[in-house]
Every structure is written in structure tokens, then in C-alpha cells.
Amino acid sequence: MVAAQEHLPRLTPQEYFAWEEQQEIKHEYFDGEVFAMSGGTVNHGRIGGRIFALIDDRLSESDRCIALNSDVKIKIQASEKYVYPDASATCDERDRQTTQFISHPSLIVEVLSPSTEAYDRGKKFKLYQRSPSLVEYVLVSAEEIEIEVFRKNERDKWEVTNYVAGDTVELESIGLTFAIERVYRGIEF
């Protein structure tokens, strides 16, 4: 999805939440400024839906962890920024006490498109890294069979594992392993 700045007066987070509930489309929030999120392609939606379904199915019987789709915001730690990933998971009890966003994700997934790839790899990833609870950041291509899993190691450094056609993807943060083809079944590029 692509963000376009709305020309509104600066809003507080509370004003943003109340205002956005009345809107037909989603908006990200950065320190008082609101940015409209444009829709994605059919492939983007199908791929995002499949990855969410895999995560949700894995966590469906968990008493601790929950899977969240692209309708749920993440509050960036130590800031007044709220963004929408394509999918996420949290195992933090504090996130069960909020209704409009989560703040302590363990897993975040972004489906890449040409218009968002640089942002998702760069500035948005840097924002997500502010969350000490984040263990894995997953970038899923919508233009070819490719998934990148960025995983925080024991030294708090990020390492990447690249997966392509024929590979088995592993998301250690939630104990999920799946054939990459499950995400791309029936997708034509």
C-alpha cells in the first residue's frame, strides 16, 4: 500500500483514533500527521491473506499468542507513530489490554509492492526495530516467489534468510514451518 499525506490539522493520537473510525480507508499516523493508505493489487491481497491464514492457523489454539491481519495498527515504541503491517503476531499480555493497536509484536509481515518496497525495507523496518519484542520481520514479494525473513540473533543483530521456490520457510518466533508454494499457490506474475 502507498501512503499519501492528508491535509488535515495536526491531530493527537486520540483525535486520530476517533477520526479514523469514521473513514472508509485506513490511515497511518506519524507525530500528528495522517497518511492515507491506498489499496493493493489482487496478488498483494491474496498473498497477504494466505500468510495471515498460515500464522492464524498456527496460533489458533494458543492461549498466549494471537495473529493479526492488515486491519490492526502497530504503535511504534517510544513514539507517536501508528502503522499497518500486512500481518503480525503478538504474545505479549499487554497487547490483550488494548483495542485499537498493539505495541509488542513478536512477528511482523509486509507484502512488498514496487511502490512500497523501499519504505518497507528501509524506514518502516527501522521503525519496527524500536520494538524490543520484535523477533522476526518478514518481507514477502508480490512479484516473484521470494520471502525474506529477518531474525534478531542472540546479540540483537538482524540476520536475513532468503527463501525461493522449492524452499521451506521457517518462522521461529511462532514455531511455523511451511512450503513457500503455500503462499504463492495459483498466483501468476
Query: Amino acid letter at 89?
Result: A
Query: Amino acid letter at 165?
Result: A
| Percent helix, strand and coil across the chain, each to the nearest 5 | 25, 35, 40
Question: Phi and psi of 39, rounded to 5°?
Answer: -75, 160
Q: Is the separation of the CB atoms in 183 and 47 below 8 Å?
A: yes
Query: Amino acid letter at 147?
Result: I
What are the start-end ranges of the E strands in the chain? 3-5, 27-30, 33-37, 66-68, 73-75, 81-83, 87-90, 101-102, 105-112, 136-141, 146-152, 158-164, 168-171, 176-179
Any idea where the domains of the chain sit in the sequence?
41-184
In eight-state DSSP terms, residue 38 is P
Element (H, E) at 121: helix 117-121
What pLDDT does 9 receive?
82
What pLDDT does 6 receive?
59
What pLDDT does 144 receive?
96
State whether residue 128 is helix, strand or coil: helix
Provide the residue-wise pLDDT of the chain in tens; the chain has 189 residues. 445 555 678 999 999 999 999 998 899 999 889 888 877 889 999 999 999 999 999 999 888 999 999 999 999 988 899 999 999 999 999 999 889 999 999 999 999 988 889 999 999 999 999 999 999 999 999 999 999 999 999 999 999 999 999 999 999 999 999 999 999 999 998
Look up the pTM and report it. Answer: 0.91
CATH architecture, domain defined by 41-184: Alpha-Beta Complex (3.90)
